[in-house]
Structure 1
Amino acid sequence: MTKNPSPTRKKIIRTASLSWSLYAFLGGQLKFLNQYYEMMTIGSYNKEVEPLVEKEGIRSVYIPIERTISPIKDLVSIYRLYRTFKKEKPFLVHSMTPKAGLVSMLAAYLARVPKRAHSFTGLIFPTKTGMMRKVLITTDRLICRFATHIFPEGQGVKKDLEQHKVTSKPLKVIANGSIRGLDLEHFDPKMYGSKDNLQLRADYGVLPGDFVFVFVGRLVNDKGLNELVVAFNKVSEQHPDAKLLLVGSDEGESDFLPKATWNVIKSNKQIIEAGHQWDVRPFLAASDSFVFPSYREGFPNVVLEAGAMGLPSIVTDINGSNEIIIENFNGTIIPSQNSIALENAMRIFLKQRDMVKKMATNCRKHIAEKYPREYVWQEVLNEYRKIEMEDLR
């Protein structure tokens, strides 16, 4: 990793709708980059961000940015961003999240910031229809119109941007797709011994010989929970040793699961609700397979985390997931929104446990080779340096 920071640091401002998401999502990366550039962040304030700002040692300016369409508030955000950019004079503004991308890129363009970059960490429009789809595509086109550099998170996102003609500008995927990478020292199965895993399983009523499928994420429709519950409910009828561990909640969500799905979750004794957990590592370590039937993602970090913890995954054929998982090497890929395919995949995992164990030996090595966070940080730094040198060529 490069150890020679520039003697005079140029300023880079990173923006997101919520400041907390920048620090939580890019943990450690901002601090690393601050050795070479004067890093600064802008986004909406919440009290949870304060200890993260202190830990990273990065200056943060709080400007409210609405996540939904709000014309008057959006104009206020653009004006405040414009004033801040004029005052701070960064050579680069780099945004992520759709709404922050729109207002940041426009404000930076108006403020004559030389370089303006946006990271597409996921696209919403591919799963929408009608007027909403048109609005979302138009928003993404405007972001690209005002950005000078566009970074899709993964080849799938890049392909969608190209196929839907969102922009004709060059698209650059940094590193192997993930814009944050993974802390392999933090996600390490060796931290959890067999006694720890057996105790956690016992705490949730799981027997030593049971096969545990674990899901980690928001308990909402878009994450494929309906298909997962339908599929597992059928699987559990013939496999009393199968368990489904749900780690997550729907608190603060609007995409609520239907009552019928909740009825099955509550009535099937082989489905275990662990609720929201700040630390998901013990649950991954105590499980046998990860299952993630999401409808859409940019580059799902939870699939990286499961792989680093040695779990073969059953994932849907969507952006990101189908780049991390290699068929029959570290998991299997099934069609999205297909409960029958999911049911069949779970049955295969239950019947061919030696195959699952063999795939498990490949999981962590695969993640360690392609997605260590230090590698991603260095690639982001390299990209910033290329942008900085463009006008000198």
Structure 2
Amino acid sequence: MNRKPRILRVTTVALSLKTLLKGQMKFMGENGFEVLMTSAPDDDIDSLEEYENTRHISIPMTREITPLQDLRALREMVSLIRSYKPDIIHTHTPKAGLIGMLASKISGVPVRLHTVAGMPLMEKKGILKKVLVAVEKITYKTATRVYPNSNTLAKYIIDNKFTNSNKISVIGNGSSNGIDTEHFSPSTEINTEARILKSKHELDGNLVLGFVGRIVGDKGINELVAAFEAIHRENPRTKLLLVGPFEPELDPLKTETENLIKNHPSIITTGFQKDIRPYLELMDIFVFPSYREGFPNVVMQAGCFNLPCIVSDINGCNEIIEDGINGIIVPPKNTEQLKKAIFKLINDPDLRDQMTSKIRESIVSRYDQKVVWEKILDEYHENLKSINLTYKTGSKNQFTAT
């Protein structure tokens, strides 16, 4: 073969390439592959291409159900694939998976990989759920391999008969991209920023409960705020720090929750923060009572800052956190159990210290980004071998068709 093997990486929106898969395309390019990215158009594609050292081509995909727009995107995807001739197409997110897998099947791409990182359909009902289930089944049927990013999600897919179990595997210990554990690590610089924020928000002398993510109902914010109100009545030296944007147009909070957030003197909101590390440094306990997730990076990030975590018993969270070892797992949508877990860690500093001493190492050993990337690279090699594209030498950077 006179060229490097080609990978087409597809996500619905460019933000997924910039954040959820950050650095992965560059790594593959440095390890013997030619990589092309595609997603819906974005205002900041130039910086994405520069960071990843990888070209991007826009295709007008949407996250909503838009049949006419989806057909247009499918035609453009087929055209791109026939022009680029990738050996591997690897899709992420539901709409990109549907369009990318269908287009690559139509176009004869030999290796068709789809990563499943959470399922919105888990929280849906009625006709909408049936439509979303059908989309998943079509995507998996046209893929050659399907990679749920957690063991819990793999079990859900198999139990619900979305595809044959022999198509399913979890790469490594889960996670789509791992995390940069060196970046998410306490430092003198971050500590200095945190001290400034601590003064600004009047946190001295308080135990700080923290959350990072979208401030919406789906993330368990209604339950978290209700639990905190009860906790604060008994423990007035506590604060709740909510780091993230409100999205009332997509998933509004209950009116009573909104009022408490606005009016409670010990609930602090910061809005979206580009760098969450100083805020993690401020926290004593990280609370993440989400209803559904893929494999939540923020829990791993909090763990890298030595924070004991209270999480919902949902996909991803219940694999990152080992109940009673590096955190506590509670049922989703259960204010009472959430409150009990928070009280337990507030009232037992020895338990908090025990969890603090174990959580960072448990994250680094299983989910460090370089470990995850190497596992994905190995998976690409195995898939290429399955179509008789093998290495010329022992180097991962040299390939030839045999």
Please tell me the TM-score bracket, short chain as reference: over 0.9
The residue that corresponds to 1:182 in the other structure is 179
Output aligned runs, 1:1-393, within 5 Å. 8-35=3-30, 36-168=32-164, 169-192=166-189, 196-207=193-204, 209-251=205-247, 253-392=249-388
C-alpha deviation, 1:197, in angstroms: 3.3
Q: Secondary structure at the match of 2:11?
A: strand
- Return the alpha-carbon distance in structure 2 between the equivalents of residues 83 and 94 of structure 1: 17
Higher mean Cα deviation, 195-204 or 238-247? 195-204
C-alpha deviation, 1:199, in angstroms: 2.9
C-alpha deviation, 1:195, in angstroms: 5.2
Higher mean Cα deviation, 257-266 or 150-159? 257-266
8 Å contact from structure 2 (residues 326, 355) kept in 1: yes
C-alpha deviation, 1:218, in angstroms: 0.2
C-alpha deviation, 1:350, in angstroms: 1.1
C-alpha deviation, 1:193, in angstroms: 6.5
Evaluate the alpha carbon distance shift between residue 7 and residue 192 of structure 1 in structure 2; reply closer, same or farther with a 3 A threshold.
farther
8 Å contact from structure 1 (residues 232, 244) kept in 2: yes
- Return the alpha-carbon distance in structure 2 between the equivalents of residues 244 and 349 of structure 1: 15
- Return the alpha-carbon distance in structure 2 between the equivalents of residues 41 and 47 of structure 1: 15
Q: Secondary structure at the match of 1:39?
A: strand
8 Å contact from structure 2 (residues 215, 244) kept in 1: yes
Evaluate the alpha carbon distance shift between residue 39 and residue 191 of structure 1 in structure 2; reply closer, same or farther with a 3 A threshold.
farther
- Return the alpha-carbon distance in structure 2 between the equivalents of residues 318 and 191 of structure 1: 34
C-alpha deviation, 1:253, in angstroms: 4.7
How many residues align structurally? 387
8 Å contact from structure 2 (residues 10, 37) kept in 1: yes
Q: Secondary structure at the match of 1:182?
A: coil
- Return the alpha-carbon distance in structure 2 between the equivalents of residues 114 and 83 of structure 1: 16
C-alpha deviation, 1:322, in angstroms: 0.3
Higher mean Cα deviation, 42-51 or 277-286? 42-51
C-alpha deviation, 1:132, in angstroms: 1.7
Evaluate the alpha carbon distance shift between residue 91 and residue 122 of structure 1 in structure 2; reply closer, same or farther with a 3 A threshold.
same
- Return the alpha-carbon distance in structure 1 between the equivalents of residues 307 and 147 of structure 2: 29
Higher mean Cα deviation, 378-387 or 127-136? 127-136
Q: TM-score scaled to structure 1, two decimals?
A: 0.95
- Return the alpha-carbon distance in structure 2 between the equivalents of residues 107 and 329 of structure 1: 45
The residue that corresponds to 1:3 in the other structure is none
Structure 1, unaligned stretches of length 5 or more?
1-5
8 Å contact from structure 1 (residues 20, 49) kept in 2: no
Letter matched to residue 21 of structure 1: S
- Return the alpha-carbon distance in structure 2 between the equivalents of residues 171 and 193 of structure 1: 40
- Return the alpha-carbon distance in structure 1 between the equivalents of residues 259 and 34 of structure 2: 52
- Return the alpha-carbon distance in structure 1 between the equivalents of residues 167 and 79 of structure 2: 29
The residue that corresponds to 2:393 in the other structure is none
C-alpha deviation, 1:282, in angstroms: 0.2
- Return the alpha-carbon distance in structure 2 between the equivalents of residues 376 and 191 of structure 1: 28
Evaluate the alpha carbon distance shift between residue 253 and residue 94 of structure 1 in structure 2; reply closer, same or farther with a 3 A threshold.
farther
C-alpha deviation, 1:196, in angstroms: 4.4
8 Å contact from structure 1 (residues 10, 38) kept in 2: yes
Evaluate the alpha carbon distance shift between residue 131 and residue 87 of structure 1 in structure 2; reply closer, same or farther with a 3 A threshold.
same
Evaluate the alpha carbon distance shift between residue 266 and residue 375 of structure 1 in structure 2; reply closer, same or farther with a 3 A threshold.
same
C-alpha deviation, 1:254, in angstroms: 0.9
Q: Secondary structure at the match of 2:108?
A: coil
C-alpha deviation, 1:198, in angstroms: 3.4
The one-character-per-residue Cα deviations of 1:115-146 (angstroms, maximum 9, x if unpaired) are 11100011122222222221111110000011
C-alpha deviation, 1:191, in angstroms: 4.1
C-alpha deviation, 1:52, in angstroms: 1.9
The residue that corresponds to 2:400 in the other structure is none
C-alpha deviation, 1:251, in angstroms: 4.2
C-alpha deviation, 1:359, in angstroms: 0.9
The one-character-per-residue Cα deviations of 1:47-103 (angstroms, maximum 9, x if unpaired) are 123212111110111111011111111110000000110111111111000001001
Letter matched to residue 182 of structure 2: E
C-alpha deviation, 1:280, in angstroms: 0.5
Q: Secondary structure at the match of 1:17?
A: coil
Q: Secondary structure at the match of 1:64?
A: coil
